[in-house]
């Protein structure tokens, strides 16, 4: 066999390191930037990921009239323009790639993504892939199979994507859905929740395009008591994630029809737990600040929900630490043989962690009811998450002071600053060389950005949004 030339060997050595050097650099920088109060053993940022990301100003308009709506009043004055979308997505993702490294989850988000033509939507997703972002399209889900098929499959019948990730927004705060323009009860929307999954299932059957679907629900005091129904009735529909957003006072003020702050995050979480029928431990793995994000990763085994980390069991917490040590960074976009080589190299160094991992797997199996229960039941992974945006009235002064390097005197504004510094959902601004929290984007920057876009891309008469402002 001809020996490999040294540069090739060096390249193989580099690619099979437990974590890619570029990813490690980005993780280290992220960790260094985090405020001390979130540098906990449970923290995912700086160990597994740099954060989640989203787009902004790429297709601000929407054809629904949700109450509340996080988009500014100006958003619906901007026309949907495919070339603008693709160019801006490309720029923003290139910038985030340079600052935050490869292998990050990013939302294709703004107004309503399905107002883009399927081809422009696909081009935006391809741009995100080019910059090694794993994209998720955020939508109200009110489109037909034809749209999805044209998005996923080229005219010659070949697949554009092996897997599509969508965040589908369904709840009674939304107005404009065909067949349920003004829903008053969450159960009215169950057939639409089911229909959306059916479209993706058909795509999988007919074209082999897999899907990863998240169900998103805005929570207000009016639908708080219906969360448990949604969780219970929809858990087996095919969504991998159920994400709940307690409503904040952000965006178009004419869409604020109630005081959202009469409920707490604990109220929302308790309702999710009521629907699941189990405690949802969220302190074992943490994204950013727990006042912003809670999440429980787990498995449904038949009728039993089994979280992967029990935050009250020290053995599970040791297993989590071993997991971070042995598998740092993310494996997104890493070819399978490289991934296997990385894990193998890492386990050679951390041999004891393999035993810790096996003991954790045995405990998980026991909690799931044992091998018989697992083999005899439908098993599907499901994540429950809550993301609590902050009110624009708090974010604006907090951000202003942060930019001046000052700490607020007022405890609430200081708490807002702490959360912004630990933000887990970032948006890139190449023009100002800034990465900003989504709270700042929606609460501070969107109005001016959309006003500028309305001049650049004015909406023609034929494009007036039915649900504007």
Q: Which residues bind ligand SF4 (CB under 6 A)?
A: 288, 292-293, 387-390, 419-420, 423-425, 437-439
Q: By C-alpha distance, which of 39, 40, 130, 53 is closest to 99?
A: 53
Nearer to ligand SF4, 152 or 390 (CB): 390
Rounded to the nearest whole angstrom, what is the least distance from the CB of residue 251 to ligand SF4 in the complex?
A: 13
Contact 137, 164 (CB under 8 A): yes
Instruction: Give the nearer residue to ligand SF4 in terms of CB position, either 317 or 393.
Output: 393
**Phi, psi at 405, each rounded to 5°:** 75, 25
Report how far residue 365's alpha carbon sits from residue 163's, in angstroms, rounded to the nearest whole number: 29
Beta carbons of 161 and 125 less than 8 angstroms apart: yes
Closest CB 438 distance from ligand SF4, rounded Å: 4
At its nearest, how many Å lie between ligand SF4 and the CB of residue 387?
6
**What is the rounded CA–CA span in Å between residue 352 and residue 286?**
24
Shortest Cβ 248–ligand SF4 spacing (Å): 8
Distance of CA 59 to the CA centre of its chain: 18
> Is there a contact between 149 and 203 (Cβ–Cβ < 8 Å)?
yes
Q: Which is nearer to ligand SF4, 131 or 387 (CB)?
A: 387
Residue 17, class by beta-carbon neighbours within 10 Å (0-12 exposed, 13-18 middle, 19+ buried)? middle
Smallest distance, ligand SF4 to C-beta of residue 296, A: 17
Q: Which one, 76 or 107, has the nearer CB to ligand SF4?
A: 107
Closest to ligand SF4 by CB, 132 vs 416, is 416
Shortest separation between residue 425's beta carbon and ligand SF4, angstroms: 4
Beta carbons of 248 and 391 less than 8 angstroms apart: yes
Compare residues 176 and 437 and give the one whose CB is closer to ligand SF4.
Answer: 437
In angstroms, what is the minimal distance from the CB of 389 to ligand SF4? 5
Of 66 and 248, which CB lies nearer to ligand SF4 in the complex structure? 248
Per-residue exposure over 375-393, b if at least 16 CB sit within 10 Å of its own CB, e if not: eebeeeebbbbbbbbbbbe
For the bound state, the minimum distance from the C-beta of residue 426 to ligand SF4, rounded and expressed in Å, comes to: 7
Q: How near is the Cβ of 52 to ligand SF4 at its closest, in Å?
A: 8
Question: Among residues 54 and 275, whose Cβ is nearest to ligand SF4?
Answer: 54
Bridge partner residues of 326 (DSSP): none
Nearer to ligand SF4, 168 or 390 (CB): 390
Among 8, 6, 17, CA closest to 338 = 17
In the complex, minimum distance from the CB of residue 139 to ligand SF4, in angstroms, rounded to a whole number: 19
Q: Which is nearer to ligand SF4, 276 or 423 (CB)?
A: 423
* Min CB(56)–ligand SF4 separation in Å: 12
Question: What values do phi and psi take at 137, rounded to 5?
Answer: -85, 130
Nearer to ligand SF4, 164 or 263 (CB): 263
């Amino acid at each position: 066999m001809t020996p490999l030339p040294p540069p090739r060997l060096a390249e193989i050595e580099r690619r099979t390191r437990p974590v890619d050097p570029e990813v490690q650099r980005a993780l280290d920088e992220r960790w260094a930037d985090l405020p001390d109060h979130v540098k906990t053993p449970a923290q995912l940022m700086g160990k597994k990921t740099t954060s989640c990301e989203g787009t902004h100003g790429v297709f601000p308009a929407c054809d629904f009239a949700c109450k509340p709506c996080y988009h500014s009043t100006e958003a619906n004055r901007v026309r949907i323009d495919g070339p603008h979308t693709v160019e801006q997505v490309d720029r923003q993702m290139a910038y985030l790639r340079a600052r935050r490294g490869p292998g990050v989850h990013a939302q294709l988000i703004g107004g309503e993504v399905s107002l883009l033509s399927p081809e422009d939507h696909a081009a935006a997703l391809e741009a995100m892939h080019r910059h090694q972002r794993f994209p998720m399209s955020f939508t109200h889900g009110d489109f037909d199979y034809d749209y999805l098929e044209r998005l996923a499959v080229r005219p010659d019948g070949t697949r554009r994507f092996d897997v599509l990730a969508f965040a589908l927004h369904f709840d009674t705060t939304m107005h404009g859905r065909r067949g349920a323009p003004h829903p008053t009860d969450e159960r009215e929307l169950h057939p639409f929740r089911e229909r959306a999954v059916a479209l993706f299932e058909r795509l999988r059957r007919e074209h082999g395009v897999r899907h990863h679907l998240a169900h998103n629900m805005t929570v207000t005091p009016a639908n708080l008591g219906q969360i448990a129904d949604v969780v219970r009735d929809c858990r087996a529909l095919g969504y991998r994630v159920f994400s709940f957003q307690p409503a904040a006072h952000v965006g178009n003020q004419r869409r604020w029809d109630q005081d959202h702050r009469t409920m707490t995050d604990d109220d929302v979480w308790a309702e999710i737990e009521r629907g699941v029928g189990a405690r949802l431990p969220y302190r074992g793995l943490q994204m950013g600040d727990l006042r912003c994000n809670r999440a429980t990763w787990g498995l449904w085994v038949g009728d039993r929900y089994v979280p992967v980390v029990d935050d009250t069991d020290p053995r599970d917490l040791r297993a989590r630490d071993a997991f971070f040590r042995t598998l740092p960074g993310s494996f997104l976009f890493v070819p399978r043989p490289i991934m296997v080589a990385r894990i193998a190299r890492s386990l050679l160094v951390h041999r004891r962690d393999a035993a810790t991992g096996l003991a954790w797997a045995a405990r998980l199996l026991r909690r799931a009811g044992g091998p018989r229960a697992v083999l005899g039941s439908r098993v599907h992974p499901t994540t429950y998450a809550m993301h609590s945006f902050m009110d624009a009235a708090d974010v604006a002064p907090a951000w202003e002071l942060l930019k001046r390097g000052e700490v607020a005197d007022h405890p609430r504004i200081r708490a807002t600053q702490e959360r912004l510094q630990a933000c887990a959902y970032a948006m890139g601004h190449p023009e100002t060389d800034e990465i900003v929290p989504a709270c700042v984007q929606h609460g501070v920057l969107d109005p001016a950005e959309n006003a500028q876009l309305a001049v650049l891309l004015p909406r023609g008469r034929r494009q007036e949004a039915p649900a504007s402002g």
